Amino acid sequence: MPTTNGHSRNLQHEVGKREPFALLEQEAYLNLARTYSVLGGQLATLFKEHGVSDPQYNALRIIAGAGRDGIRSEEIGDRMVAQDPDTTRLIDRLMKAGFVDRDRDPADRRCVLVKVTAKGRRLLDRLHGKVIAVHEAQFASLSRRDLKQLNDLLFRARQP
């Protein structure tokens, strides 16, 4: 992509690599990692200001989206954008902060249901517009067409 001075910028130049990457696949992967690091850091800062981590925010949205009946704890891990190997500890931290409650499922006492609390809903309400604003700013240089293409390419890259 040309910069304002007309020179092409890419990951190789951004990270100060002297030689081109050996594989386009390697460069694509490292581009994803670098992009996630930059963009994810912006959200991490926002979440930290509100006392949660990115995985906690993701879990809280999943729990709130499940509605009044709650969601089985094992389903939360399955629905997370980035898999968290210890969903139980993640839920424990949300509980300790007062954002969720845990109860046994009356239909199956072996299962635990997790429900968002009023405090958790207030946090999500406070963060909603701020998260949207961060995402809009992060991708302001891309057109709607670019974003659709990017989403399609990323989805296809995850397919076997």
Give the per-residue pLDDT at 142: 96
Instruction: Give the number of residues written for the chain.
Output: 160
Give the per-residue pLDDT at 12: 85
Identify whether the C-beta of residue 115 lies closer than 8 Å to the C-beta of residue 63.
yes
Report pLDDT digits (tens) over 57-89: 999 999 999 998 899 888 998 899 887 778 889
What ranges make up the beta strands (E) of the chain? 71-72, 100-105, 108-116
Report pLDDT digits (tens) over 36-55: 999 999 999 999 999 999 99
In order of start, what are the domains of the chain with their CATH numbers?
A: 22-157 (1.10.10.10)
Cα(136)–Cα(93) distance, rounded to whole angstroms?
A: 29
Show Cβ contacts of residue 147 under 8 Å, excluding neighbours closer than 6 positions: 139
pLDDT at 9 over 80: no
